Amino acid sequence: MIRLLIFFIIITSLSSCYTTQYFVNTKYKLAEVNSYGNEDIVGHTDNDTYVDEYVGIAPIVDDALISLIIRNHHNSSIKILWDDASYVDYTGEAHRIIHEGINPTNKETSHIPTTIPAGSYIEDTVAPIDCITFNKDSWVVTPINDYDNYKFKDRLRAEELVQECKDNSHLFQSKLLLPFEIDGKKVEYTLKFIGDEFYVDSEVVKDSDTATIVVSLSTLGVVLIALIFLL
C-alpha cells in the first residue's frame, strides 16, 4: 500500500510540470487574386482555384506552408520568378520565400526561375525562409505568426476568441506574391488568403511556472523510487 502511494506521488509531481494551452486554429481559403503588369488579364476565383487565360493557380495553405499547382494555359512557356516572390504575413511584413527542391542551407542564394511549358503544370511548395531550418536531411518548419499572446489555460477564453475571429477574419490574413514572366513581360499575381472555419485547438507544454523546480522534482522522484525498493 505504501509503495502504491509513493508511486502515485511521483506521477503527480512529474505531471504537474506540464499544462494544456488552448488556442484558435483555422483553415485558410483563397479570398481573391489580383494581377499587375497586364491590364488585359481577366480571371476568376472559384473553389480555392484561380483561373485566367494565362495561368491556373490552386493553392492549399497550412500556416507557413503553401502547396501550389500552377498550370500554363498560354500558347507559349511561362516562368516563375522565385527571386521576386514574397510572403506577406498578417502584420503586413514581407518575407522572402523558399520553394521545394532548394536545399535550406542555400535558402539565401538566388533561385533559378522555373519554366512551365505551354499546356503543362507543376506542383510545388513554398514557405517564408524565416520558417525553415535544416535538421539532418529534412526541412523543419515553424509557424511564422507568433500567436503566443493568444494561448490560454482556460478553454472558454479560446472559444470566445473563436467568435471574435469569425467576426474579424482579417486577423488571420496573409498574401503570396507570385511574379511570372509571360511573353517577355513581368506579371505579378497577389493571392490573398483569409482564415476560415475557426476552431479551438490545444497543446501540452511545459509549465513555465514550474520549470524552475523540475530538477528538484526529478531528484525527489529518484529518492522516492529508491524508497519503494527499501520499504
Residue-wise pLDDT tens digits, 90-119: 888 899 998 887 766 666 778 899 999 999
Q: Assess whether pLDDT exceeds 80 at residue 71.
A: yes
Backbone CA torsion sign across 100, 102, 106, 112: negative
- In-domain check, residue 4: no
- In-domain check, residue 158: yes
- Model pLDDT, residue 178: 97
- In-domain check, residue 221: no
- Model pLDDT, residue 111: 86
- Model pLDDT, residue 12: 54
Asked if residues 23 and 151 have their Cβ atoms less than 8 Å apart, the reply is yes
- In-domain check, residue 224: no
Distance CA(142)–CA(180), nearest Å, equals 28
Q: pTM of this prediction?
A: 0.72
Number of domains, the chain: 1
**Domain span holding position 100:** 23-208
Q: What is the mean pLDDT of residues 118-141?
A: 82
- In-domain check, residue 28: yes
Asked if residues 34 and 84 have their Cβ atoms less than 8 Å apart, the reply is no
- In-domain check, residue 14: no
The one-letter amino acid code at 90 reads Y
Query: How does pLDDT run across 55-65, given as a tens digit for each residue?
Result: 999 999 887 78
